[in-house]
């Protein structure tokens, strides 16, 4: 079967077969996730799930999405909630700034009439919504034939078109993604590509033998990816760089501060004067200042911290 040409060109005649093969595979074994609603998806629920899934594993999103949607069933519910309540409901997903942006998006939606916008430009104009999230919501919630390109989809399409022999420019890759969408099932197509990249077309060891679209792929074979040739001599380190433990990062520190505040009753101030984990007091102060700047935390006159919107 012919391989796909460069994505900027016309679609091959057998793209219909590619679509059918991938969707049949998805129908038989797609990941069962709570936020995947097959019939009449709620655009607000889809938007929430896609924002949650930014930089977060879908298995963590699955359970959290249920609880969040029970609390904030509509954009109006989220828009009217105290920010501290939103942050508490978000706790555990990481990258808490997304909760602030999602509430800002909800308020923008309410101000515009209460309906989640259906087109990509209007979606992308919402706070915290980038090109991928806008296209995913447009495809899944509104049936628009647009391709959502996340890291998994980028890898799948790159292998399909070039076999990883050369990087594919983002604009060209987006053209391919848009052209390959199944126009009759754009939402399922979006989920199917994501699942393929997450479970079969993996970064280091793709399971090419289990791939439903292997016949269309330009990747030479799993051996080229899974088992690179051994070096003739042990590789020498280029410099003194060492991996930084997660517990030593500012992201870890910010997360622990927010977790601590979420564990306290609403409005309770917490003083962070000493070290926290591997971080000295001055690093804790800097993390608090960054959380304040991001709108997640407030400080009172004595330096006690509270979640934003929970000032006593």
Nearest to 190 by CA among 33, 44, 14, 8: 33
Whether 50 is catalytic: yes
In whole angstroms, give the CA distance from residue 195 to residue 201: 9
Please pick, among 50, 259, 282, 298, the residue that the annotation labels catalytic: 50
Geometric angle at alpha carbon 221, from 218 and 225, rounded to 5°: 105
> What is the CA 277 to chain-centroid distance, rounded?
28
Q: Please report where in the chains the tokens 């016949």 appear, as a residue.
A: 215
In whole angstroms, give the CA distance from residue 30 to residue 117: 27
Q: Which two tokens stand for residue 297?
A: 């935390």
List of long-range contacts for 259-262, beta carbons under 8 Å, 24+ apart: 259/91, 261/297, 261/305, 261/306, 261/307, 262/87, 262/88, 262/91, 262/307
Residues identified as active-site: 50
């Amino acid at each position: 079967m012919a391989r796909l040409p460069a994505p900027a060109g016309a679609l091959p005649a057998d793209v219909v077969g590619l679509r059918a093969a991938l969707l049949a595979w998805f129908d038989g074994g797609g990941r069962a996730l709570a936020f995947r609603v097959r019939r009449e998806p709620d655009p607000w629920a889809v938007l929430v799930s896609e924002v949650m899934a930014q930089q977060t594993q879908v298995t963590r999103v699955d359970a959290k999405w249920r609880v969040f949607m029970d609390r904030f069933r509509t954009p109006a519910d989220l828009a009217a909630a105290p920010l501290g309540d939103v942050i508490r409901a978000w706790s555990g997903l990481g990258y808490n700034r997304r909760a602030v942006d999602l509430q800002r998006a909800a308020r923008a939606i309410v101000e515009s009439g209460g309906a989640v916008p259906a087109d990509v430009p209007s979606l992308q104009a919402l706070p915290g919504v980038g090109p991928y999230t806008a296209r995913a919501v447009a495809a899944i919630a509104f049936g628009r034939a647009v391709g959502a390109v996340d890291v998994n989809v980028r890898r799948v399409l790159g292998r399909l078109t070039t076999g990883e022999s050369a990087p594919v420019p983002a604009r060209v890759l987006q053209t391919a993604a848009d052209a390959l969408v199944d126009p009759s099932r754009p939402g399922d197509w979006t989920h199917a590509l994501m699942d393929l990249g997450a479970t079969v077309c993996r970064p280091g060891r793709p399971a090419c033998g289990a791939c439903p679209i292997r016949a269309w792929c330009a990747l030479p074979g799993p051996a080229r990816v899974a088992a690179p040739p051994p070096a003739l001599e042990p590789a020498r380190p280029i410099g003194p760089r060492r991996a930084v433990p997660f517990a030593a990062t500012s992201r870890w520190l910010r997360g622990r501060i927010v977790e601590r505040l979420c564990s306290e009753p609403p409005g309770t101030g917490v003083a962070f004067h000493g070290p926290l984990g591997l971080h000295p007091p001055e690093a804790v102060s800097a993390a608090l200042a960054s959380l304040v700047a991001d709108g997640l935390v407030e400080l009172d006159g004595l330096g006690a911290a509270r979640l934003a919107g929970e000032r006593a």
